[in-house]
Amino acid sequence: MLDFGRRFITSSISIALVVLILVFAFTFWVSLFTAAAAAALSAIALWEYNQFAREKGGMAKTSLLMILAACVTVSFYFAITWRYFPETIFFLSILVLFARHFRRKEGAIVDLAISAFGLLYIAIPLGMILGILYGPHAEDGRIWAAYLLATTKMTDIGGYFGGSLWGRRKLAPKISPGKTWEGSLFGLALSLLTSFLFHLFGGLSAHFTLSSLEWVFLGLSLGCIAQFGDLSESLLKRDANKKDSNSLPGLGGILDAVDSLLFNAPIVYFFLMVFR
């Protein structure tokens, strides 16, 4: 109950902050704060991920990786000025990772593998959230960002409460003993419900539409892939013998909080790029 209380307080504060950011997202100073916050979250999440790698005997240069992660993430904020800005920054980041080993070759393969995967796994998806919010593919990215966040987090909430109330059959006992098939199905149901509500009431805005086929497709996709992302981060934690990615009160870690978003953000981002 104490852990639930801490999580409830942390979640409530986080939700209130996100709502405020979305409401005032296109105010200049708020947009700068949002980009900076996303970059900071990316850097911290990369630090947490690097601790997993350390437990397995690998270790990238932490400070450099955090700086590169922040740069890759924030590059999506500036993509509105030049479409290929994120690709350019990511390419330059890879060059930097290689260049630092030109005078010292020891550990190059492990370092490059850990670092490049970290940028792909964490920095780029978090940047895509900025791309959804501020990108050129939607007239008002605030609603699409809200859709992504709401659908993903309702999947997480559904999985937690569904598993707590009705969970019997383990979903993946070796990597996440607390998750059950019952919780997974309830999370998927809440994802579909959330997607349907956006379809139903999104039409009140001229900048947001979801057809009958789209709300079902996205609701199912986000509901399934969010849980895949959660299990994927659990796999990394279990392999590194970690319970949480960090020890922040009521939160665990940044990577714990965003794991499902890391897999869902690309789905919405590419959906908007292709169909909007």
What is the pLDDT, as a whole number, of residue 194? 97
Range scoring the smallest mean pLDDT among 89-93, 176-180, 264-268: 176-180
Q: What count of other Cβ atoms lies within 10 Å of the Cβ of residue 3?
A: 10
What was the pLDDT predicted at 270?
95
pTM: predicted TM-score of the whole model, two decimal places = 0.93
pLDDT tens across 93-134, in order? 999 999 998 988 888 899 999 999 999 999 999 999 999 999
241-272 burial by CB neighbour count: b if 16+ within 10 A, else e?
ebeebbebebbbbbbbbbbbbbbbbbbbbebb
For residue 234, give Cα distances in angstroms to 19, 47, 109, 242, 272.
28, 16, 25, 9, 29
Q: Is the pLDDT of residue 1 over 70?
A: no
- Indicate whether 197 pLDDT > 90: yes
Query: How many CB atoms lie under 10 A from the CB of residue 195?
Result: 26
Residue 10 pLDDT > 80, yes or no?
no
What integer pLDDT is reported at residue 107 of this predicted model? 83
Q: How confident is the model at residue 78 (pLDDT cuts 50, 70, 90)?
A: very high
236 has a pLDDT exceeding 90 = yes
What pLDDT score does 5 carry? 60
> What pLDDT score was predicted for residue 250?
56
The percentage of the chain sitting over the pLDDT mark of 70, rounded to a whole number, equals: 93
DSSP-assigned beta bridge partners for residue 176? 172
pLDDT at site 247: 66
Q: Mean pLDDT score of the chain, rounded to an integer?
A: 90
Q: What is the pLDDT of residue 246?
A: 75
Check pLDDT > 70 for residue 82: yes
